[in-house]
Structure 1
Amino acid sequence: MSGEWTDLPAEFLAGVDPAHPELSDTATHMERIRSVRHGEAYLAWSRYQSIAIVYDQLVVNGTGGFFIDRYTEMVTRVCREDAITRYQADRWVGEALALRERLPKVLTTLRDGILSRQLIQTVVSRTDLISDDTIMADLDTEIERILRSRKGAWTTVRLRDMVDRLVFRHDPDAVRER
């Protein structure tokens, strides 16, 4: 990869000069922290998007290898490229597919910096027992609407409770089963 991250446009760093960060005031650094948080969320969204596309290319539309199945090959590639464990790569793949297929509207909140990857994982895990596609689509829409309409930061507990209330309202058996 040519080019370095220090070549990012200033707006990505909220105007802080990476060569001389000490010249920026506290308010500018606080804006930079917010900008970095949004950037991290956007990068996670980008990773999920690429993983889902590679999944389609290797698993759905590809042909399997002789010694390993296509899914294993795909997870192995993610593992190698991300320099992470197989378990972590398998989680990324599972989350990417769940977000694309079950929670596409919630996924846009990651892209837009409303939720972090950690919080997105909470939504995925709290909705994973929903098997009805219509209920899932309704939940996706309602969760996304609430996330976009409420100001302030979401904690894991606050988000979990909100999602659990919605799941209970739409599919009480899924909450009981959990």
Structure 2
Amino acid sequence: MIALLKALHIAALSLWCAGLVAMPLVLQIYGRREEVRTQAGFTEFRLLMHAAYTRIVTPAAIVAIAAGTALIFAADVTQPWLVAKLVAVAGMVLAHAWLGHLNVEASEGRGSYQMPHAIAALPASLICMSAVLYLVLAKPDLQPLIEALPAALTTPQGRSLPDVLVPI
């Protein structure tokens, strides 16, 4: 079961990462070509980008996150590197959302057919992907970093919600 989840997670993550690399390049390079300046070329470009984002990249991201979440519970992983990995995955999600916004901006055209500077999303995506890859493969000991944090962030404070707020 765990091997199947890992295979699904890796396959979906590979497709998602490929989309996070390809989409900024396509928006930046192909979006500025002369063919896109015609109405037919612009319509084709808009439909291609919309289909890639909504039918390939976003479903791959959802499957990758769902399979990764299932893996956390199936393998009972609770090490500190996992929290750091989840922060990097959150960065990938933010880059994904930004690319969706840029996709909408490109499809609306704003009357001038100027494509937004999507290439700036590429370094953010690559940094997050590299961090995920490093954290998963190296599984570094982050205990010294945790010990360097203030005690208020790493120990329970003995506070609880009042009984009124606790559901029955």
User: What TM-score do you get using the length of structure 1 for normalisation?
Assistant: 0.33
Q: Greater relative contact order: 1 or 2 (C-alpha under 8 angstroms, separation 6 or more)?
A: 2
User: What TM-score do you get using the length of structure 2 for normalisation?
Assistant: 0.35
The structure number with the bigger radius of gyration is 2
- Answer 1 or 2: which has greater helix percent: 2
